[in-house]
Structure 1
Amino acid sequence: MKSSEKILLAGATGYLGQFILAELLKKEYPTRIVVRNKAKLPPALLTHPLLEVVEAEVTKPNTLLGVCEGVTQVISTVGITRQKDKLTYEQVDYAANKNLLDEALRSGVRKFVYISVLNGETMRPIAIGAAKERFVDTLKTSGMDYCIVRPSAFYSDIATIFSMAKEGKVRLFGKGQYTMNPIHGEDLAEVCVAQLESSEKEVNVGGVEVFTQYEIAALAFEVLHKPVKVGFLPDWVRKSVLKIGKYLLPKSAYGTIEFVFTVMAMDSVAPMKVGKHRLKAFFEELRNKYLHL
C-alpha cells in the first residue's frame, strides 16, 4: 500500500473515472472519491479497505469543504459528457473543477491531475473548449504542481459510429478522411494514474491504432457482417447546422452538438500511442451485446 499518498478522485462514476478508480485500487493507492449519491455505487466498493466515499456536489462549493483534508494529489475527470441536468460547460468543466482546485489549495494538496481534451487550444472558440482551457489556464497559474492529460476520442465515443452501422448506414462529413487514434478507458486510466509519479506537465495521448473515420465505419460494418454503406455530408451542412443551432437550441443541447460537429471535422491523432485494447475487439463486444438483447 502506498501509505504516504492519498488520492482524491472526482468523476469516479463516469466512463473514464470508473477505470481510474479500478487502477488506483489495483496500484494500492488509498483513495477518496466524491459522488452525489453513494447508494448508486456497487456495494462491494463501499467496503473496500482502501476506499473512502464522500457525498458532495462539485458544482456546489459549500458541499466540498474539507474534502481534500489529508489528500496529497487530486485527479479530476469532471466534465459534461451527456446532458442530463442542463448545466453549462462553464458551470461544470470550469467552475466545478475550480471549486476542487480551491479546496485542494486550501488543504495543501501537492498535485492536481486534470483530464482535458486533445487539441484544446484549437477548441477555445467553442463552449466546451473555452471552459476546459479556462480551467487549464487557472490550474497552470495556481502555483500547484499539475499535469494536464489530453486524450483523443474514447472508445465509448466511437460507439456512436458502430450504432449508426448497426442501423444500416453511417454518415460522415467530408469524405471521412479525418484521422484519430481512439483510446480505451482502461488504457487511458493507466496513463492518468502514472502521472501521480511523473514530472510531465502535459500528456497528449491516444490509442496505438490510427484510423480515418471511414476506416472506423468500415470496421464496424465488417464486425456486423454488413455491406459498407457510408453517406458523405458536405462541410456546408455541418457549418449550417452549427450556425442555425446556435440560435434555435438551448445552450445545454447546442454545446454537445457544437463539440461533436467540431471534432468530426478535424484530425485528432495524439503523439503518445499506448494500450493493449483494439477497436475491432471493442466493436465485437458491442456486437455480442447487441445479439444477446
Structure 2
Amino acid sequence: MENHLNQNKILLTGASGFIGGHIVEHLLRQGFAVRCLVRRQVQLPAPPNTQDLLETAVGDITEPSSLTEALSGVHTVVHLVGIIRETPRATFQRIHVEGTGNLLAAATRAGVKRFFYMSGLGARPKARSRYHQTKWEAEELVRASGLQYVIFRPSVVFGPGDGFVSMLVDLVTRGPIIPIVGNGRTPMQPVWIGDLVQAVEKTLTSPELWNQTWEIGGPNQLSFEEMIDTVAEVLGIRKPKLHIPIPVMRPAALMLQFLTPNPPITLDQLIMLQEPNICDPQTLPEKFGIDPVGFRDGLLRYLRQD
C-alpha cells in the first residue's frame, strides 16, 4: 500500500493555508508522497519520519510557465488555493478562475491523471457573491478538462488555526457586547477540519467517488447566532448581544474596503452571511464512512486546551 501511494505522487496547492496544512500533515502520516507548490522556497513542517515523502516546488498558479517542472511525474493534483477577500493583485477572477485554468492546462500537458478541486458550498451560476460565482466558473473548467476529477464544496470549516471560529471568538471576547450581523438567523453547517481531511484521503483511495461533486457539511445545521452562542458557552462568557442591521453594515463594509488592506468584513462576505450554507448531513457518514464531529464537540477539542 505504501509503495503504491509513493508511486502516485500528489501535487498540492495551498499547503500554507489552514485547510492545506492539515491535509498535508494527514496525507504524509498515511504514507502519501506529496509535492507542495510554493511561491518561494521554504521548509515546510512534516510529521516525524515523513520528511522523505515531502517535496516542495516553486511555482505560482498565476504564472503558467512556472508550473511545468512542478507537475513532472505527478499523478494527482489536489488544488486548494482560494481567497476570501480580494486585493488589487489577487482578485477572485485571477486566483479562482484564471489560476485554476492555468493549473488544469499545465496538468493536462504533463499527463496528470486526476484533479481534486476544493470549491465552496454555495458555488453556483448567477450567485450573488463574486466568491461563489468564480468558484462555480472554476468548477466548470475542472469538469470540462477531460481529467478524472472530484470537487468538494464544504460549508464553513473549523478547527485549530481556522479563520472562522477565530473571528467568532474575537466577536465574543472583545468589548462589552457581542455584535451580530443582521438577524443572525442564516443557517450554516460547520464541518470539523479532521472530518474534511479524512474525506479527502478517502477520495484519493476510492475510485467510485471520482467524477462527482460532493457537498460537505457537519452534523449540525446552526444559525450564525447559534454558533456565536455556542462559542460563548464553551468559553464561559456571558454578554449582551447587539444585532447590527445589514443596511447599516453595508456602507461601513464598503468604506472599510477602501480604507484598509485587510478589512474585518467585505461586501462579498456580507452577501454570503445572508445566504444559507447547508447541505445533506448524511453525505459524510453514508458516502465517506465518517462519523462527523459536531460543532460544540469540535470547539471543546481546541478552545479549552490547557
State the TM-score, normalizing by the size of structure 2. Answer: 0.82
Could you tell me how far apart the structure 2 residues matched to 1:251 and 1:73 are? 39
Q: Secondary structure at the match of 2:191?
A: coil
Q: What is the CA deviation profile of residues 191-250 of structure 1, one whole-angstrom value per residue up to 9, with x for unaligned ones? A: 1232222235101001122211111111122122222422112232345456x559x738
Could you tell me how far apart the structure 1 residues matched to 2:108 and 2:127 are? 26
- Larger mean CA deviation between 40-49 and 71-80 belongs to 40-49
Could you tell me how far apart the structure 1 residues matched to 2:265 and 2:146 are? 32
Q: Superposition pairs for residues 79-158 of structure 1, below 5 Å?
A: 79-81=82-84, 86-121=89-124, 124-155=127-158, 156=162, 157-158=164-165
- Larger mean CA deviation between 47-56 and 88-97 belongs to 47-56
Could you tell me how far apart the structure 1 residues matched to 2:39 and 2:151 are? 25
The question of whether the paired residues in 2 share the 8 Å contact of 1:184 and 1:207 is answered with: yes
Q: Superposition pairs for residues 21-40 of structure 1, below 5 Å?
A: 21-40=24-43
Shift of residue 84, structure 1, vs aligned partner: 7.3
The question of whether the paired residues in 2 share the 8 Å contact of 1:162 and 1:283 is answered with: no
- Residue of structure 2 aligned with 1:208, choices 212, 219, 240: 219
Cα gap change, 1:38 to 1:187, in 2 (>3 Å) = farther
Confirm or deny that 1:263 pairs with 2:279: no
Shift of residue 10, structure 1, vs aligned partner: 0.8
The question of whether the paired residues in 1 share the 8 Å contact of 2:119 and 2:135 is answered with: yes
The question of whether the paired residues in 2 share the 8 Å contact of 1:46 and 1:53 is answered with: no
- Paired residue for 1:185? 193
Q: Which amino acid aligns with 2:182?
A: G
The question of whether the paired residues in 2 share the 8 Å contact of 1:86 and 1:252 is answered with: no
State the TM-score, normalizing by the size of structure 1. Answer: 0.85
Identical aligned residues as a percent? 23
Q: Which amino acid aligns with 1:280?
A: R
Paired residues in the alignment total: 288
Q: Which amino acid aligns with 2:270?
A: F
Q: Secondary structure at the match of 1:53?
A: strand
The question of whether the paired residues in 2 share the 8 Å contact of 1:205 and 1:270 is answered with: yes
- Residue of structure 1 aligned with 2:57, choices 38, 41, 54: 54
Cα gap change, 1:22 to 1:139, in 2 (>3 Å) = same
Q: Secondary structure at the match of 1:176?
A: coil
Q: Which amino acid aligns with 1:266?
A: E
Cα gap change, 1:99 to 1:18, in 2 (>3 Å) = same
Could you tell me how far apart the structure 2 residues matched to 1:15 and 1:94 are? 21
Cα gap change, 1:117 to 1:44, in 2 (>3 Å) = closer
Cα gap change, 1:268 to 1:216, in 2 (>3 Å) = same
> Unpaired segments of 5 or more residues in structure 2?
285-289
The question of whether the paired residues in 2 share the 8 Å contact of 1:88 and 1:251 is answered with: no
Q: Which amino acid aligns with 1:259?
A: D
Instruction: Between the two structures, name the one with larger relative contact order (CA 8 Å, sep ≥ 6).
Output: 1
The question of whether the paired residues in 2 share the 8 Å contact of 1:7 and 1:75 is answered with: yes
Shift of residue 276, structure 1, vs aligned partner: 4.6
Confirm or deny that 1:199 pairs with 2:210: yes
Shift of residue 112, structure 1, vs aligned partner: 0.7
- Residue of structure 2 aligned with 1:220, choices 214, 221, 231: 231
Q: Secondary structure at the match of 1:39?
A: coil
Cα gap change, 1:38 to 1:270, in 2 (>3 Å) = farther
> Unpaired segments of 5 or more residues in structure 1?
none
- Paired residue for 1:279? 295
Q: Secondary structure at the match of 1:265?
A: coil
- Paired residue for 1:230? 241
Could you tell me how far apart the structure 1 residues matched to 2:261 and 2:139 are? 22
Cα gap change, 1:204 to 1:251, in 2 (>3 Å) = farther
CA RMSD, 1 decimal: 3.0
